Amino acid sequence: MGRIDRRPLMPPYCPECGGKLKFDPKLKHYSCQSCGVTYNEAELSKALEERYVSRETDDEKRQQRHQDYLEWWLSDKDKKKRG
């Protein structure tokens, strides 16, 4: 029978630069092929979680800016129609 791959399921990209991550089974860590940063499983999970949370807040900020702009734009159009 074939060998069972016991690597954790993680995305194959670096949270820092977006480069490809390579898993070293002997050292049990991931290293980025582009920037050289290394992560163990816990560090990588934490870095990806922080990136995901910051992306969510960025999306929320972007949506709020869009909503504010839309309200401004529509109020400006209403003022022009009245005047």
Domain range enclosing 25: 21-82
The answer, yes or no, to whether residue 83 has pLDDT greater than 80, is no
Q: What is the largest CA-CA distance in the chain?
A: 81
The count of structural domains within the chain is 1
Residue 12: inside a domain: no
The pLDDT confidence band at residue 2, using thresholds 50, 70 and 90, is low
**pLDDT in the model for residue 4:** 52
The pTM assigned to this predicted structure is: 0.49
**pLDDT in the model for residue 50:** 82
Residue 27: inside a domain: yes
Alpha helices in 1-83 (DSSP H): 41-82
What are the structure tokens assigned to 22, written together?
A: 């390579």
The answer, yes or no, to whether residue 31 has pLDDT greater than 80, is yes
